[in-house]
Chains A and B, each alone.
Chain A
Amino acid sequence: MATQNVAAARALDLEPRTLRLPGITWALIGPAVALLLIFYIWPLVQVLLISVTEVDDRAAGMALGNYGLLFVDEGVQRMLWRTAQICVTTTVLTLIGGYIIAYAMVHVTGRQRSFLMFAVLLSFWLSVLIRAFAWIVLLNNNGLAYEAINLFWQPLRDTGIVQGRLQLARTEAGVIIGMVHYMLPYAVLPLFANMQGIDQRVMMAARGLGASPFGAFRRVYLPLSAPGLLGATVLVFVFSLGFFITPSLMGGGKVVMISEYIWFSMEQTLRWGLATMLATTLLIAVMALIALMSRFVDMKQMYGAK
């Protein structure tokens, strides 16, 4: 094919390299870029502009306008801090679970791997709403998961180590369970891709040279899987920041994360200045995180652009 194209180009008296001129490249991707600019970037900019043009009552007279609220409004600070805490917890738990699943997937037989992959993908494809409702049913008082966990809780309660009735649904614990479950495939898939590329013989070599099983894992396998681990961290953390449905449905009204706060300020209190300021802050934070991570991980490889 390639030679035919070259021949065709020669026939038209075009050198192949002229096709690679920047001008032509831009002309070819131009429509895509224009579409993005008009339908995605421009509306986004318009929304974000509100954060500087519409000053919130509470921010009136502040040097940084609405952005000053980040430094003085305790309600906003507590909400952001809570969001960060929940996202860190979710990320850590998801990575632990995801690492174990991905590790198992690499090391089992083909048929077992297909089964595990199917299980991961099945939950990946389910809507977040369905999963949240399913967890509510499971975690409700008398729900299946509730009963199972209560088997351990009740004896502790009887001996007085813990107090109060076990409450899972409509608590922060419920939110984290729901979020970890949602995020697991996002951790498993990059980790699995990374681990598949690790040559298993290096472990044998390490063992052959006298390393203990755990030593070999810690000093050889873990560093080799670090890029996958870092990639999964960014992916999971960034996605967690934007959670809305799960905390809102499973938090008993008491877990309010940044997305819900933005929604609330847009729709309920008409504080658009505040809402767009928070949206801008979230966007900048996410981009900064990705920029920081790209120094350590090959992002192009992670997202399949290479």
Chain B
Amino acid sequence: MKTAQPFQADLVELAHELHAKGRISRRDFVAGLAMLGALPTALRAGPAGAQAQELVLCNWGGDAIPFFEESWTAPYTADTGITVVQDGSGPSLGKIRAMVEAGAVAWDVCDSGGGSSIQLGEAGLIREIDYNVVDRSKLFPGHDFRWGQTNYIYSFVLGYDTTEFGDNPPTSWADFFNLDDFPGPRSLRKDVLAHVEIALMGAGVPKDEIYPITPDKEKLAFEMFEKIKADTIFWNSGAESQQMMRDRSVVMGCFWNTRLKVIHEETEGEWDWTWNQGMLMPGAWVVPMNNPAGDAIWPFLASTQTPERQVRLFELFANAPANPEAAPLVPPELKKFNATDPDNYAVQLPSSSEYWGANLARVNTTYLDLIAT
């Protein structure tokens, strides 16, 4: 490197000196280096870069930590020498807000969602994604959010107990909301995200006419919830939803495909699901304002778009690749589990993060009021 790019190397040295004398801030220093495209080299080089050799990634903990490490952070460290430390404490909206407002941001990147990125972005709490570094063409259409980079995709799907229904299982949300032909306790999530669409499909609104969601449609959705509320129990955490399936407290439910896959394997197929009318949801990287590593985060985010790394995460975690180029790399026997496999993608509805970004707080409060009374 040194002999190949002497001018750039010289600039890097200069920047190190200026930074060491306190003439430029660390943020400007890192930003300048990123512009030079010299960041990986520079970070390995001098003492001033030593601090930026560490990125802090916050996710929701549990298996996500070893899985993210194997798919994303370890290969990145191998490529660049930059360590990525994971914090599994859960980057909820409230925590990000508290951190940014207190001026004590410890996270460089958080595992959030498309709708949340809009909520946080409009509140001025997170940074706009630098699409000069992150590649828009490696994302499904509509998933290049201003403040969030889609990192994987998951689905809310209709799962059911095959032992309960035999040859006549529920196949659509209309069946889910039909207590006469499909009796028994069912489960929804105690969070309204994606559920308005599900209720509308349950009321017979065709998939393609769900958006835009008008006040009338919202009202219709809430009437549907009201109709089945007495027969419904609500899950908070993914683990809780699994428990409901295991102890057969419910006969069907709206669950995450990742959790259903685990139970499907555990019960040797007794619990199954349909991709039909599933809600495709983008998980998204968000970068808090004034993140400690500054612009050094973008190359890492771009590296998570690599199809092979996304497929590895899918194999471990069942989170579907956010890069359309990854689907052909998925082993054939696992295609059934891939939410973004072309066949499965086609029968599902990609969620509108614009709608949820603008309305989640309001609709969620109404939903909580409804189910708690």
Interface residues of A (CB under 8 A from B): 74-75, 78-79, 82, 136, 140-142, 167, 169-170, 248-249, 252-256, 261, 264-272
**Are A269 and B360 in contact (CB-based, < 8 A)?**
yes
Q: Mark B232-266, 1 if CB is under 8 A from A, else 0.
A: 01111000100100011100000000000000000
Pick the interface stretch among B25-33, B53-61, B88-96.
B88-96
By beta carbon, the residue of chain B nearest A79 is: B372
Task: Please name all residues of chain B whose beta carbon is closer than 8 Å to the beta carbon of A142 when the two chains form the complex.
Answer: 247
Task: Please name all residues of chain A whose beta carbon is closer than 8 Å to the beta carbon of B191 when the two chains form the complex.
Answer: 268
**Are B94 and A267 in contact (CB-based, < 8 A)?**
yes
Ordered by A's residue number, 14 sampled pairs between the chains whose C-beta atoms are within 8 Å are A75-B369, A78-B373, A82-B372, A248-B236, A249-B236, A252-B233, A254-B234, A256-B368, A265-B365, A267-B92, A267-B94, A268-B361, A269-B364, A270-B94
Q: CA of A266 to CA of B97 in the docked complex: distance in angstroms?
A: 10
Q: CA of A68 to CA of B264 in the docked complex: distance in angstroms?
A: 49
**Choice from B92, B233, B365, B373 contacting A170 with Cβ under 8 Å:** B233
Which 5 A-B residue pairs are closest in the complex by CB-CB distance? A253-B234, A75-B369, A267-B94, A256-B372, A269-B361
By beta carbon, the residue of chain B nearest A74 is: B369
**Are B372 and A254 in contact (CB-based, < 8 A)?**
yes
Taking the complex as formed, is B178 at the interface, i.e. its CB lies under 8 A from any CB of chain A?
no
Task: Please name all residues of chain A whose beta carbon is closer than 8 Å to the beta carbon of B361 when the two chains form the complex.
Answer: 268-271
**Are A269 and B365 in contact (CB-based, < 8 A)?**
yes
Task: Please name all residues of chain B whose beta carbon is closer than 8 Å to the beta carbon of A136 when the two chains form the complex.
Answer: 243
Task: Please name all residues of chain B whose beta carbon is closer than 8 Å to the beta carbon of A169 when the two chains form the complex.
Answer: 249
User: If the complex has contacts A269-B365, A270-B94, A271-B361, are A253 and B249 also in contact, measured as CB distance less than 8 A?
Assistant: no
Taking the complex as formed, is B371 at the interface, i.e. its CB lies under 8 A from any CB of chain A?
yes
**Choice from A141, A249, A264 contacting B248 with Cβ under 8 Å:** A141
Taking the complex as formed, is B190 at the interface, i.e. its CB lies under 8 A from any CB of chain A?
yes
By beta carbon, the residue of chain A nearest B235 is: A253
Q: CA of A213 to CA of B235 in the docked complex: distance in angstroms?
A: 51
**Are B236 and A253 in contact (CB-based, < 8 A)?**
yes
Q: CA of A78 to CA of B371 in the docked complex: distance in angstroms?
A: 11
**Are A271 and B372 in contact (CB-based, < 8 A)?**
no
**Are B234 and A79 in contact (CB-based, < 8 A)?**
no
Interface size on B, residues (CB 8 A): 30
By beta carbon, the residue of chain B nearest A133 is: B243
Taking the complex as formed, is B137 at the interface, i.e. its CB lies under 8 A from any CB of chain A?
no
Taking the complex as formed, is B163 at the interface, i.e. its CB lies under 8 A from any CB of chain A?
no
Q: CA of A266 to CA of B96 in the docked complex: distance in angstroms?
A: 11
**Are A270 and B248 in contact (CB-based, < 8 A)?**
no
Least Cβ distance of A305 to chain B in Å?
A: 35
Least Cβ distance of B61 to chain A in Å?
A: 15
Q: Mark B202-233, 1 if CB is under 8 A from A, else 0.
A: 00000000000000000000000000010001
Taking the complex as formed, is B119 at the interface, i.e. its CB lies under 8 A from any CB of chain A?
yes
Task: Please name all residues of chain A whose beta carbon is closer than 8 Å to the beta carbon of B235 when the two chains form the complex.
Answer: 253
Q: CA of A83 to CA of B346 in the docked complex: distance in angstroms?
A: 45
Q: CA of A167 to CA of B190 in the docked complex: distance in angstroms?
A: 19
**Choice from B240, B365, B366 contacting A271 with Cβ under 8 Å:** B365
User: If the complex has contacts A140-B247, A142-B247, are A253 and B94 also in contact, measured as CB distance less than 8 A?
Assistant: no
**Are A254 and B369 in contact (CB-based, < 8 A)?**
no
User: If the complex has contacts A169-B249, A256-B372, are A270 and B119 also in contact, measured as CB distance less than 8 A?
Assistant: yes
**Are B234 and A264 in contact (CB-based, < 8 A)?**
no
Task: Please name all residues of chain B whose beta carbon is closer than 8 Å to the beta carbon of A255 when the two chains form the complex.
Answer: 372
User: If the complex has contacts A78-B372, A82-B373, A254-B372, are A268 and B249 also in contact, measured as CB distance less than 8 A?
Assistant: no
**Are B97 and A270 in contact (CB-based, < 8 A)?**
yes
Q: CA of A245 to CA of B95 in the docked complex: distance in angstroms?
A: 19
By beta carbon, the residue of chain B nearest A165 is: B185
By beta carbon, the residue of chain B nearest A268 is: B364
Task: Please name all residues of chain B whose beta carbon is closer than 8 Å to the beta carbon of A267 when the two chains form the complex.
Answer: 92-95
**Are A270 and B123 in contact (CB-based, < 8 A)?**
yes
Least Cβ distance of B184 to chain A in Å?
A: 10
Q: CA of A147 to CA of B372 in the docked complex: distance in angstroms?
A: 27
Task: Please name all residues of chain A whose beta carbon is closer than 8 Å to the beta carbon of B240 when the two chains form the complex.
Answer: 249
